[in-house]
Amino acid sequence: MPTWLVNLLGGGLIDKILAFIPNPEEKAKAQQQMQAALLEAAIKAESEQRDIDKQEAASASVFVAGWRPAVGWLCVATLAYQWMLAPLLTWGMNLAALHWGVATPQLPTLNSSDTQTLLYALLGIGGLRTVDKITGNDTVAIGFGKVGQAIKGAVAGK
């Protein structure tokens, strides 16, 4: 479940619904039930996505299992061109232009910022998660807002 949806439901919509319950005890119980249902839905969605990813990876079809590697290689090729090949070709063409006195065309540039964003998403940028684990940051509460705080409180209460 997308974080923005969890934050909307956990921070905005649930609070508005709970405002209609006048009894504080019933309100607290309803809030706990709603947050538990939301957490369960988020966990189920994540689990189902993992199952889909496993099935895709196990497929013999290159069109099913190969799209992620293809996108990854496309990103690598784009970055290799932009950072290595284009500068070397430009330098070589400029040398040739100086030596033979001919005009050389401008090489096309690629928007590598989009490619980098896509590649980082494919890689998962595990470095940030590693830093969180090393420093002991509470990424559950950060990622799930009030729902994460409820989870933390429920785990601490057991």
Domain boundaries, the chain: 1-60+125-158, 66-124
Lowest mean pLDDT among 17-21, 47-51, 92-96, 124-128: 124-128
Q: Is 99 exposed, middle or buried (0-12, 13-18, 19+ CB in 10 A)?
A: exposed
Three-state DSSP at 2 gives coil
Per-residue pLDDT at 55: 82
- Rounded to a whole number, what is the largest CA-CA distance in the chain? 88
Q: What is the number of residues in the chain?
A: 158
Asked whether the predicted pLDDT for residue 18 surpasses 70, the reply is: yes
The better pLDDT of the pair 57, 28 is held by 28
Confirm if 154 and 39 have CB atoms less than 8 A apart.
no
Per-residue pLDDT at 86: 92
What are the pLDDT digits (tens) for 57-100? 787 887 777 777 888 888 888 889 988 999 999 999 999 899 99
Per-residue pLDDT at 88: 94
What are the pLDDT digits (tens) for 132-142? 666 666 555 55
Dihedral sign, CA of 139, 145, 148, 152? Answer: positive
pLDDT bin (cut points 50, 70, 90) of residue 26 is confident
For the entire predicted model, the pTM comes to: 0.46
